[in-house]
Amino acid sequence: MDKEKIKEWIIQEFKNGEIRDTWFPMLSVSGMRDYSETVHSTGLNYITEIGRRLDGYTAVSEYPVYPISESFGHSITREVRPDSIWYNKEGLKPVLVSEFERFENSVAKNNKLREKIENLLIAYHQLGGNLPIILFVYWSHSGIVPKDIDKYISIFDEGFRLSNGTYINGINSFESDYLVYQAVAKGNKEKLTINKWIQVK
């Protein structure tokens, strides 16, 4: 699996927005109503479509990952359902897991951001621990920047401990990379566009 090919595909798409403009004009041009899960649903399906447009790969949205306790040596109680998982068509080996999460500066949203990053790391291990890419995108309105984003991103490298005491290792940096993006929203609740995707890591 070509890790660099996948990374470059993502980076270029977020930069030029060709798939976004063609298949998700509500993100880049016409705007959408920020109601319930509309933005989340649109964003995660956009990420999934990016995977489907990459030659030799396919992708699914909101796919539950079966807990494999052997990945950690003991049982994992948290079920995870990444927003998008990409697979190599040849052998259907997973190559990417992704989350797309809203962010606002509040304790609750900070906790949610951390939980989503932890879930990505759990999914990464349960899918074999050697996926080429983890992709985390948080979206926010212009001017809103998470104060502790570096602390949360470091979970990918350092790992974390579950509430039951189980330690979840960070990624294997020899095999895997992670990409972190901030998607910046403009407009109001009646007409919101997200057409600026900034690489954070």
Q: How confident is the model at residue 163 (pLDDT cuts 50, 70, 90)?
A: confident
Q: Which helix (H) or strand (E) holds 73?
A: none
Distance CA 21, CA 9 (A): 16
Q: Which helix (H) or strand (E) holds 20?
A: helix 18-23
Q: What is the mean pLDDT of residues 7-17?
A: 97
What pLDDT digit, counting tens, does each position of 48-82 carry?
999 999 999 999 999 998 766 555 554 555 779 99
End-to-end Cα distance, the chain: 21
Select from 187, 185, 200, 191 the least CA-distant residue to 43: 185
Q: What is the mean pLDDT of residues 108-117?
A: 86
Structural tokens at position 166: 């189980």
Distance CA 30, CA 177 (A): 34
Distance CA 128, CA 136 (A): 19
Low-confidence winner among 4-8, 109-113, 120-124 (lowest mean pLDDT): 109-113
